[in-house]
Amino acid sequence: MRNSMNTLKKLIGLLVLALSLSFSGCEAPLSSANDVAIATKPDWKKQVQTKLPMLGHRNWILIVDQAFPEQNSLGMEYIYANEDLLPVLKEVLTQVNASAHVKPIVYQDQELNFITENQAKGVKNFISGAKEVLGTQKVESLLHDEVFKKLDTESKLFKVLVIKTNEVIPYTSVFLQLDCGYWNGDKEKELREAMRK
């Protein structure tokens, strides 16, 4: 009887040990809060890929520098991409251009072309890199405050997706206003004229 009790206690002890290991997993515990944040950080590329089908004509995607402010507007949604701005811009343009339903109208801050290398180290490389990423895409320049006015108006009605990057050169943000990918202004004009007849 005594042997049976000892065996039973050992079995219960092994069962408790096995259960505690299965609940805690076999991985080493995370060592800090930063490790937890990194381990649970969502992939920004997949987030954009998931959100893009929901975005359409008159929505915006902003790829912004690190100092771009978080705003109170309900229409603005933020994603943090822990990368430099140009690789993020390239990926976002690739995704937008691969979609059938939207195409980008690209805006950059007018101030960017007036910043000197003495004022912001790396600005000339950024400008040439941005030209390479944007390729033949037409780019419209607006004063930074004009962009904010547009966004303030648009975000009251239409969703604005902001992708914040690690870029620390001022006025480097790129603003993509989405237009319909399978319709254009000329077709719209023809339609309206036909409707007036």
The sign of the torsion formed by the CA atoms of 31, 32, 37, 38 equals negative
Q: If 0-12 CB within 10 Å is exposed, 13-18 middle and 19+ buried, where does residue 192 land? A: exposed
Highest mean pLDDT among 14-18, 19-23, 147-151, 173-177: 173-177
Give residue-wise pLDDT tens across range 115-131: 999 999 999 999 999 99
| pLDDT number for residue 151 | 85
What is the SS3 assignment for 15? helix
Map tokens 């008159």 to a residue: 58
Give residue-wise pLDDT tens across range 38-88: 444 579 999 999 999 999 999 999 999 999 998 887 889 999 999 999 999
Residues in the chain: 197
Map tokens 């390729």 to a residue: 135
* Top-confidence residue, 147 or 62: 62
CB atoms within 10 A of CB 6: 10
What is the SS3 assignment for 141? strand
